[in-house]
Amino acid sequence: MIKKEKLQIIGTKQIAKDTIEMKLENIHISETAVPGQFLHILIEGHTLGRPISIADIDKENHLVTILFKVIGSGTKRLAAYSVGQQINALGPSGNGFPLRQEAKETVLLIGGGIGVPPMYYLGKQLAAQNVNAIAILGFQTAENVFYEDKFKEIAETYIVTDDGSYGNKGLVTDLLDKVGDFDCYYTCGPLPMIQAVTSKLSGKRGYISLEERMGCGVGACLACMIPANNESGYKKICSDGPVFLAEEVTI
Amino acid sequence: MIKKEKLQIIGTKQIAKDTIEMKLENIHISETAVPGQFLHILIEGHTLGRPISIADIDKENHLVTILFKVIGSGTKRLAAYSVGQQINALGPSGNGFPLRQEAKETVLLIGGGIGVPPMYYLGKQLAAQNVNAIAILGFQTAENVFYEDKFKEIAETYIVTDDGSYGNKGLVTDLLDKVGDFDCYYTCGPLPMIQAVTSKLSGKRGYISLEERMGCGVGACLACMIPANNESGYKKICSDGPVFLAEEVTI
Amino acid sequence: MNELAVSLPGLKLKNPIMPASGCFGFGHEYSNYYDLSELGAVIMKAATGNARLGNPTPRVAETASGMLNAIGLQNPGVDKIIEYEVPFLANFDTSIIANIAGSTIEEYEMVAAAFNYTEDVHALELNISCPNVKEGGIQFGTDPVMAAKVTERVKRVSKLPVYVKLSPNVADIVEMAKAVEAAGADGLSMINTLTGMQIHLPSKRPLIANKTGGLSGPAIKPIAIRMIYEVKQNVDLPIIGMGGICSAEDVLEFLLAGASAVAVGTANFGNPLVCKEIIDELPDVLSRYGFASVQEAMGKAVFV
Amino acid sequence: MNELAVSLPGLKLKNPIMPASGCFGFGHEYSNYYDLSELGAVIMKAATGNARLGNPTPRVAETASGMLNAIGLQNPGVDKIIEYEVPFLANFDTSIIANIAGSTIEEYEMVAAAFNYTEDVHALELNISCPNVKEGGIQFGTDPVMAAKVTERVKRVSKLPVYVKLSPNVADIVEMAKAVEAAGADGLSMINTLTGMQIHLPSKRPLIANKTGGLSGPAIKPIAIRMIYEVKQNVDLPIIGMGGICSAEDVLEFLLAGASAVAVGTANFGNPLVCKEIIDELPDVLSRYGFASVQEAMGKAVFV
Ligand SMILES: Cc1cc2nc3c(=O)[nH]c(=O)nc-3n(C[C@H](O)[C@H](O)[C@H](O)COP(=O)(O)OP(=O)(O)OC[C@H]3O[C@@H](n4cnc5c(N)ncnc54)[C@H](O)[C@@H]3O)c2cc1C
Ligand SMILES: Cc1cc2nc3c(=O)[nH]c(=O)nc-3n(C[C@H](O)[C@H](O)[C@H](O)COP(=O)(O)OP(=O)(O)OC[C@H]3O[C@@H](n4cnc5c(N)ncnc54)[C@H](O)[C@@H]3O)c2cc1C
Ligand SMILES: Cc1cc2nc3c(=O)[nH]c(=O)nc-3n(C[C@H](O)[C@H](O)[C@H](O)COP(=O)(O)O)c2cc1C
Ligand SMILES: Cc1cc2nc3c(=O)[nH]c(=O)nc-3n(C[C@H](O)[C@H](O)[C@H](O)COP(=O)(O)O)c2cc1C
Ligand code: FES
Ligand code: FES
């Protein structure tokens, strides 16, 4: 259940250009979070929370890992926190990826940029279920690449960069028909990427994780709507999502 | 000359109830500040600067001491800074106390509450000039008292508390005719105290240090006016003051 | 009597704290954080005649000490609200205020009348910051004549006390308050948001898809306090005050200025427990500043 | 041509940055921090017919991301300003804009006319946020008829271009802009402060001795951007934009919304070097968002 929690910063390091990996200690989040859920981080001096995906969990040590890119005032402030300090967050927030895959099935994980982090925790969980995973990870350029080695431990991993400065040159979609067969896909990244992926893979069972600017982060303010094929005509990304079945929403 | 400076925090400790002593390292301020001048401290997340008197200077080590009471959001934030961090401030600001006393003259220093700090640096400088100083320091109650020992090194010191929980019971004005003869007085503290002091000592040469809410802290915005007996009819506390001859302003 | 209790037309509140309309949905989400029975009242998200889907996204943007929103009155329509949402809130020991909106006077009347048929709603908050479709989009909330007209017509059909929610986007807030007072309003609720815009530099477009949005949060508190002060000097109606409240000290500032109760909006987003925390801290803050009760603090600012 | 240069009626500016009226005095103090020749222009503190002593203190209060001020037009009177202050500023290679104010139309005329006799003032900024004593205190700045009247009368006596400084305390800013455009204004300057109040809890009194004060700073930026956007879509006059500017990014946001130049007010208090720092950073910020010059960025927000 989502709660307001204090998380203790245990480690923080830059792992790629403008990209920070932060390890946080918290019992409630580490015990209950599933892949695809996020923390709604409440940063001092900021009116609204910052949604950041959970990139990994170490249940034993009560650790939660987040990876974030410094893009504006909130993430800049967050990057300036140091070990020993505490941050406030709501979490675990939203609904994660369904994990009910059969062992021996093959799944495709497609992550773009700062959409890569939730794919890691997901891949780790699926690997633990003996699901066979292939990962296609797209980044702008070589200096943005992170977590390649970690992905290689859990999945057959392909790196793509826009400019070809690392791995394959091009877009994640260029590899979709080159990685072999899979039963289901999971994707998170910029909207144009998700649109391209879902249209190329239409017909396949797929789960997408969406972003939108959020107010409350809990489902009360109706800021984060996405048109949907249900009775009310919409779903809330913060509380019905951020993960949706590819067909249930209109992107 | 007043400049925008960065000051490095070298030490910070609580010396009385809600009262912090902070030692700051800065060459320009330590080399040029005179007693009665202040720092206009620019605190992150706050629109306006916080004026805080210079309580002591150690020229040799480039140290500036300030003492402040935590009363609102700015001083609370300031108290939370720790050793090694830097603060921004304009300074040295305003005009200080005239130090042209003859050696062997006797001066009376009258400080109330958080008006005590500038009296210390002043007293130290006067002592260095072999001026004979008497200090009357008023506080609300015992737990607010600070710097008694330091004052005793430079002046014949009397402590007064409102409730008599330490030193003499009563107001600083109760002692004015009990401390013997003096040639001139200096005072800083709450306005009602300064009003009482100047009216009891009218006729004597006296210098008063005044407070007012400030905008710019440099003389440009006209926030901090005090009616005065000059052509324009006013003086600016931030740049003409904060120290005035008792007769030149109307309090 | 409880030191926090306040009585307003139609409302006997155990304390003066309520979440503001649109910032608390219909309470489901925040009921996970604390027992809604702690609240003085709950003001529901705006109800319109039919379901509305609201504006395209992005609908919110952060600003210095505030935020912009252009949700666009998304709601399931008054009938569904009465069928599904009011019963949920009625489970709690708190008062329920329905915020009503419309594009025509007839829609306002229809929505107001619908709430006559539930026992569980205790007052209406009349949201007049909506453009009147028939009169070519002039806001009800910035024209005293139109504000009076919609107030009078809603009063005529409703059996509930009506609190008119004033828009701050006017030159003369007292004129607006007097107009709705004369039209029969039982109370005022103020302030709604100020219209603002933020331009997103990378895309060179307004960040809010609707272009403009309503500014709320601590940034607007001084405007809210000024308007409540001005209205209180000139109009006799009780005021539900809001605009940037984050703490029990803020609540006291609103009470001193002339509010009889307050609503907390944007602050819920930064801290879902804020209403409860304010309720817990209010007794201490009142006594720190010399008041024995909320009642005693009301309108006690000294303006001379 | 210099990438930062802009041309406005009567003003050839080397860059679009100027300190806002009332936040920079007459430049003496800030000339200790940097060479005022770096500035596009300086807008002087308001000038009135005779010297004014202004309001009692406290005159300023801090608010969330902003401040309130009620200085009260303290100034030495137009003659002394022309005699002592203009010559000081004329030492610098920058344009000088005189902000003029009054309680009657006649006082505005008198002040405006006085500036005809100095070669060193390049434009007038007409501060219409003053209550008209003759008309019983109604603000020139919230009534389009009065705003037009004072604009027209000032235009008639002045040989300088007149930028009318609009008050944001109105329901319809476009109506105000159109009124002063029709009356002959050469440009607009917007926005002035929003009226606000803060109550000091320990004393239970308004913190500002004048009770209400003008709200400025980042808190009001979204309102300024929205108003400039609205006016730019409807009125052809060049706009000097202001309201909460703290950074070169903020300047670009104002340019995109429709301003041709900007003024920086409150931010000087938190950082006396802010105008100079913004000027230094502006070229980089322009090119980061794809603009080769200030000229090119003007009005380039996409609103469709
Ligand atoms: C469900 C979800 C999961 C996310 N996970 C991650 C992650 O793991 N790592 C990561 O780096 N980023 C992630 N993001 C994006 C991240 O939320 C934004 O980059 C961040 O909020 C930017 O904050 P800022 O203050 O630096 O930027 P600013 O632009 O200053 O923020 C201003 C406002 O806009 C919002 N905002 C800005 N960009 C976005 C965005 N892309 N999505 C949603 N709101 C935005 C902010 O939350 C804030 O309210 C996620 C977004 C969502 C919705
Ligand atoms: C020349 C001068 C010297 C001072 N020296 C000292 C000192 O050595 N030690 C000390 O503890 N205090 C001193 N003060 C008072 C000190 O400036 C205030 O206590 C402080 O600004 C409070 O800030 P805050 O954010 O905690 O309070 P808030 O009440 O949150 O501040 C809000 C605003 O009010 C202003 N303000 C509040 N109280 C005062 C005040 N008494 N005088 C002026 N502005 C005020 C703040 O600067 C700020 O702009 C001095 C004041 C002046 C004018
Ligand atoms: C996201 C959001 C949605 C809102 N929706 C409504 C609404 O439906 N009806 C209404 O009258 N006011 C609405 N408001 C205005 C608030 O009720 C309140 O008047 C305003 O936000 C000022 O209070 P605050 O600063 O505490 O948020 C909304 C405000 C926000 C931030
Ligand atoms: C202390 C202070 C004094 C001001 N004095 C004047 C003035 O004399 N004339 C005027 O037209 N505007 C005056 N203003 C308004 C500013 O020029 C400006 O329009 C407003 O503050 C918004 O800009 P900002 O948010 O950058 O401060 C004053 C503002 C402040 C803060
Ligand atoms: S952010 Fe409030 S409903 Fe999703
Ligand atoms: S604080 Fe601005 S003139 Fe003194």
What residue type is D102 in one-letter code?
Answer: G
- Which helix (H) or strand (E) segment is B174 a member of? none
What residue type is C73 in one-letter code?
Answer: L
Nearest-atom number in ligand 4 for the CA of D267 is 26
Structure letter (DSSP) for residue C194? E
Cβ contact, residue pair C206, D244, below 8 Å:
no
Question: Which of A55-59, C171-175, D1-5 is predicted with the least confidence, judged by mean pLDDT?
Answer: D1-5
Domains identified in chain A and CATH numbers: 3-93 (2.40.30.10), 106-209 (3.40.50.80)
Task: Decide if D255 is inside a domain.
Answer: yes
Cβ contact, residue pair A46, C59, below 8 Å:
no
Q: How many residues does chain D have?
A: 304
For residues A105 and A183, the answer to whether their CB atoms sit within 8 Å is: yes
Provide the residue range defining the domain that includes C187: 6-55+73-199+216-297
Question: Which of A167-171, B12-16, C14-18, D259-263 is predicted with the least confidence, judged by mean pLDDT?
Answer: A167-171
pLDDT in tens, A172-213: 998 888 888 888 999 999 999 999 999 999 888 999 999 999
Closest CA to A234 of A221, A213, A249: A249
* 3-state secondary structure at position C7: strand
End-to-end CA distance of chain D: 31
Say what the pLDDT of residue B233 is: 87
Confidence of residue C160 (pLDDT cuts 50, 70, 90): very high
Closest CA to D160 of D198, D91, D195, D114: D114
Q: Per-residue pLDDT for C2 more than 90?
A: no
CA dist A153 and A56 (Å) reads 14
pLDDT in tens, B191-208: 999 999 999 998 889 999
Cβ-based contacts of C25 with chain A (< 8 Å): 219-222
CA dist D210 and D83 (Å) reads 30
Enumerate residues 6+ apart whose C-beta is below 8 A from A164.
A170
Alpha carbon of B232 to ligand 3 centroid (Å): 48
Q: Is B47 on the interface with D (CB under 8 A)?
A: yes
Gyration radius of chain B's alpha carbons:
17
Q: How many residues does chain B have?
A: 251
Alpha carbon of B213 to ligand 6 centroid (Å): 8
Please give the backbone phi and psi of residue C11, each rounded to the nearest 5 degrees, phi first. Answer: -130, 120
Per-residue pLDDT of chain D (304 residues), as tens digits, is: 589 999 999 999 999 999 999 999 999 999 999 999 999 999 999 999 999 999 999 999 999 999 999 999 999 999 999 999 999 999 999 999 999 999 999 999 999 999 998 999 999 999 998 777 777 777 899 999 999 999 999 999 999 999 999 999 999 999 999 999 999 999 999 999 999 999 999 999 999 999 999 999 999 999 999 999 999 999 999 999 999 999 999 999 999 999 999 999 999 999 999 999 999 999 999 999 999 999 999 999 998 8
The 10 Å Cβ neighbour count of residue D110 is 17
3-state secondary structure B109-155: EEEEHHHHHHHHHHHHHHHHCCCEEEEEEEECCHHHCCCHHHHHHHC
* 3-state secondary structure at position C187: strand
Using CA atoms, how far residue C126 sits from C11, C165, D267, in Å, is 16, 6, 39
CA dist B222 and B235 (Å) reads 9
Say what the pLDDT of residue D1 is: 53
Bridging pattern class, strands D213-216 and D239-242? unpaired
For residues D159 and D115, the answer to whether their CB atoms sit within 8 Å is: no
Q: Is D223 on the interface with C (CB under 8 A)?
A: yes
Gyration radius of chain D's alpha carbons:
18
CA dist B72 and C290 (Å) reads 19
Q: Is A74 annotated as a binding-site member? A: yes
Task: Decide if D68 is inside a domain.
Answer: no
Average pLDDT for chain A: 93
Question: Which of B180-189, C21-30, C207-216 is predicted with the least confidence, judged by mean pLDDT?
Answer: B180-189
Q: Which residue of D has its CA nearest to B218?
A: D29
Say what the pLDDT of residue D134 is: 77
Nearest-atom number in ligand 4 for the CA of D165 is 11
Say what the pLDDT of residue A101 is: 66
Using CA atoms, how far residue A89 sits from A26, A31, A45, B244, in Å, is 11, 15, 14, 51
- A2 pocket-lining for ligand 5 (C-beta < 6 Å): no
**Average pLDDT value for residue range C90-119:** 96
**DSSP-assigned beta bridge partners for residue B99:** none
Q: How far is CA A99 from the centre of its chain?
A: 15
Task: Decide if C60 is inside a domain.
Answer: no
Gyration radius of chain A's alpha carbons:
17
For residues B229 and D58, the answer to whether their CB atoms sit within 8 Å is: no
Q: How far is CA B184 from the centre of its chain?
A: 17
The one catalytic residue in C23, C130, C246, C275 is C130
Ligand 1: residues with CB < 6 A are A 38, 48, 50-53, 67-69, 71-75, 114, 117, 211-214, 242; C 62
Cβ-based contacts of B46 with chain D (< 8 Å): 62, 270
The 10 Å Cβ neighbour count of residue B109 is 26
- Half-sphere exposure for D242 (CA within 13 Å, toward CB): 31
**Average pLDDT value for residue range B143-163:** 94
Closest CA to A197 of A175, A169, A213: A175
* 3-state secondary structure at position A116: helix
Task: Decide if C235 is inside a domain.
Answer: yes
Both tokens assigned to C175: 């004129």
Alpha carbon of C294 to ligand 3 centroid (Å): 24
Task: Decide if C154 is inside a domain.
Answer: yes
pLDDT in tens, A60-114: 999 999 999 999 999 999 999 999 999 999 999 999 998 876 667 899 999 999 9
Q: Per-residue pLDDT for C138 more than 90?
A: no
Please give the backbone phi and psi of residue D16, each rounded to the nearest 5 degrees, phi first. Answer: -90, 15
Using CA atoms, how far residue B85 sits from B6, B24, B33, B76, B235, in Å, is 10, 10, 22, 16, 36
Q: Could you list the residues of D known to form a binding site for substrate, using ranges.
A: 45, 69-73, 127, 192-193
The complex scores an ipTM of 0.96
Q: Is the dihedral of CA C244, C249, C252, C253 positive or negative?
A: negative
Please choose from D23, D52, D190, D210 the residue to mutate so as to test ligand 4's pocket, defined by most ligand atoms within 8 A of CB. D23
Average pLDDT for chain B: 93
Enumerate residues 6+ apart whose C-beta is below 8 A from B206.
B184, B185, B186, B187, B197, B198, B245, B246
Cβ contact, residue pair B222, D59, below 8 Å:
yes
**Average pLDDT value for residue range C184-203:** 97
Cβ contact, residue pair A42, C66, below 8 Å:
no
Q: Which residue of C has its CA nearest to D170?
A: C171
Both tokens assigned to D111: 């002040």
Say what the pLDDT of residue A103 is: 65
CA dist C56 and C205 (Å) reads 14
| Domain count along chain D | 1
Q: Per-residue pLDDT for C1 more than 60?
A: no
Q: How far is CA D279 from the centre of its chain?
A: 18
Number of Cβ pairs closer than 8 Å across C and D? 145
- At C89, which CATH number? 3.20.20.70
Using CA atoms of C47, C49, C50, C52 in order, give the dihedral in degrees to the nearest 10: -40
Closest CA to C222 of A127, D54, D70: D70
Chains meeting B at 3+ CB pairs closer than 8 A?
D
**DSSP-assigned beta bridge partners for residue C241:** C190, C262
Please give the backbone phi and psi of residue A169, each rounded to the nearest 5 degrees, phi first. Answer: -90, 135
**Average pLDDT value for residue range C98-118:** 95
Closest CA to D8 of D296, D191, D259: D259
Q: Is B49 on the interface with D (CB under 8 A)?
A: yes
Alpha carbon of D266 to ligand 4 centroid (Å): 7
Task: Decide if D303 is inside a domain.
Answer: no
Say what the pLDDT of residue B103 is: 65
CB burial readout B143-162, b (16+ within 10 A) else e: ebbbbbeebeebbebbbbbe
Using CA atoms, how far residue A29 sits from A55, A62, A64, A68, C93, in Å, is 12, 8, 7, 18, 31
Q: Is C58 on the interface with A (CB under 8 A)?
A: yes
Task: Decide if C64 is inside a domain.
Answer: no
Cβ contact, residue pair C142, D253, below 8 Å:
no
Nearest-atom number in ligand 4 for the CA of D67 is 31
Say what the pLDDT of residue B101 is: 66
3-state secondary structure chain D: CCCCCEEECCEEECCCEEECCCCCCCCCCHHHCCCHHHCCEEECCCECCCCECCCCCCCEEEECCEEEECCCCCECCHHHHHHHHHHHHHCCCCEEEEEECCCCHHHHHHHHHHHHHCCCCCEEEEECCCECCCCCCCEHHHCHHHHHHHHHHHHHHCCCCEEEECCCCCCCHHHHHHHHHHCCCCEEEECCCEEECCEECCCCEECCCCCCEEEECHHHHHHHHHHHHHHHHHCCCCEEEECCCCCHHHHHHHHHHCCCEEEECCHHHHCCCHHHHHHHHHHHHHHHCCCCCHHHHCCCCCCC
Gyration radius of chain C's alpha carbons:
18
Cβ contact, residue pair B2, D54, below 8 Å:
no
